[in-house]
Structure 1
């Protein structure tokens, strides 16, 4: 075998050794889907019987340039045993606007109020349950 052929074959072998496992690993790793991150009414995943108590509802009231957003999750608050941990408000690009944390010893209902100025477009509300994961709903302002 000539030296040039040896170098060429060695380079190809090394490349194959490095690339093949990476390609196999990329195919084996499951890419996350929407229901791996949060649940929705249309995609409740394993919690299809939990939609009514976990999906946040979004109420919108406008007064001039002030917009009041009311997020309600009709979930019972059973102390630290089972409760809504927080509500998170996101803008149309899924960027954080504000959140409200609940105290399961004091809060009897999962209700949050947020005030925005001059906002228009889609809004998203997340509701996080300590047992049944994260739920997302949307509304337009």
Structure 2
């Protein structure tokens, strides 16, 4: 094959691959099965069955008028950047993002978050992300 043809075909292949890859990367997330190996739960701890008590977030709900306070605690020690809870994420009944709290393992001695919602009712979900033992989900009813 001539050098020019080789270069031309190589560039055409690279451009074609670039046009396909973003489509794959931006696949419709609504088609993902909830819990399809994306996170772990008490009921489905997967490879981390021994980590449920220290990694699954607990949720406490307090209601006062139209105000809802959601307290999330993950009973996990903060061992500096070696092993810690990175963040808590709060999701609504459709698994849509509401809020998050990032932790600094040097300053935060425990993984505790407090979120305030207004006029919310229905299921709510908390995610707890450990830097070594992945993402954990728990839910509660408001």
TM range (shorter): 0.7 to 0.9
Which residue number corresponds to residue 107 of structure 1? 108
Cα distance between partner residues in 1 of 2:70 and 2:110:
16
Closer/same/farther in 2, CA of residues 52 and 35 from structure 1, 3 Å limit: farther
**What TM-score, normalized to structure 1?**
0.76
Structural RMSD (CA): 1.3
CA distance, structure 2, for counterparts of residue 38 and residue 32 of structure 1: 11
CA distance in 2, matches of 1:78, 1:119: 35
Contact 1:70 1:114 in 2 (8 A): yes
Distance 1:115 1:50 in 2: 28
Q: Does 1:55 align with 2:56?
A: yes
Q: Structure 2, unaligned stretches of length 5 or more?
A: 1-31
Q: Could you list the per-position Cα deviations for residues 81-101 of structure 1 after superposition, in whole angstroms to 9, with x for gaps in the alignment?
A: 000000000000000000000
Q: What TM-score do you get using the length of structure 2 for normalisation?
A: 0.76
Aligned length: 111
Hey, what does 2:82 align to over in structure 1? 81
In our comparison, the structure showing a higher alpha carbon Rg is 1
Is 1:122 aligned to 2:123, yes or no? yes
- Pairwise CA distance, 1:34: 2.2
